């Protein structure tokens, strides 16, 4: 009984002690929750490739501009160019519990063979959560050019019923 009671506090103490050591050596320890944050999305089966018939959030360019201004970076033009040059590789949408979920794949600007997965949670005119695999895109409020490319694609579908995507064999399968 006594041993049992002692065991857990000791373990916790050692763990805390080690974290403190890391803190001294490398600065604040990055916790797991920060490293592996992922927007909670519905089951993969809920997602469909975006078409002109898809239920999508009613986003317009004013929403995207506001979102890009919040990031404090001037990368909307870059993203508009990337979108025009077909950096968007795929875009899928799901509607669940009154929220829209969008997943997209966007090619890297520097190394085109690298593709980043982007996830966006939105309501009409409201971008709730964003994340991208690139260094700047950490969720839940990621801000990067790849996220903007996906948002621009959604806006294009809302306004012009089209989306510019570089089609690939993978995209055509579904």
Contact residues for Zn ion, defined by CB under 5 A: 116, 132, 134, 137, 144, 146
Strands laid side by side in the 99-107 sheet: 48-49, 88-96, 99-107, 115-123, 126-132
Nearer to Zn ion, 5 or 35 (CB): 35
The DSSP bridge partners found for residue 94 are 101
The CA angle 76-136-69, to the nearest 5 degrees, is 35
Nearer to Zn ion, 96 or 141 (CB): 141
Nearer to Zn ion, 120 or 144 (CB): 144
- Quick one: how far is CA 118 from the chain centroid? 4
Residue 136 Cβ vs Zn ion, minimum distance, rounded to whole Å = 6
Residue 100 Cβ vs Zn ion, minimum distance, rounded to whole Å = 19
56 with 101: CB under 8 angstroms? no
Nearer to Zn ion, 54 or 79 (CB): 79
Residue 158 Cβ vs Zn ion, minimum distance, rounded to whole Å = 22
């Amino acid at each position: 009984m006594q041993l049992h009671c002692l065991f857990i506090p000791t373990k916790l103490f050692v763990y805390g002690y080690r974290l403190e050591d890391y803190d001294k050596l490398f600065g604040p320890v990055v916790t797991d929750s920060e490293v592996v944050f992922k927007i909670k999305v519905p089951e993969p089966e809920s997602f469909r490739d975006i078409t002109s018939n898809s239920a999508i959030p009613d986003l317009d360019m004013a929403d995207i501009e506001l979102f890009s201004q919040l990031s404090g970076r001037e990368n909307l033009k870059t993203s508009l160019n990337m979108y025009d040059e077909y950096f968007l590789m795929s875009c899928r949408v799901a509607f669940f519990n009154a929220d829209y979920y969008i997943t997209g794949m966007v090619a890297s600007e520097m190394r085109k063979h690298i593709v980043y997965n982007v996830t966006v949670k939105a309501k009409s005119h409201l971008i709730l959560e964003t994340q991208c695999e690139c260094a700047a895109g950490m969720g839940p409020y990621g801000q990067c050019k790849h996220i903007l490319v996906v948002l621009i694609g959604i806006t294009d579908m809302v306004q012009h019923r089209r989306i510019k995507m570089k089609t690939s064999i993978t995209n055509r399968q579904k």
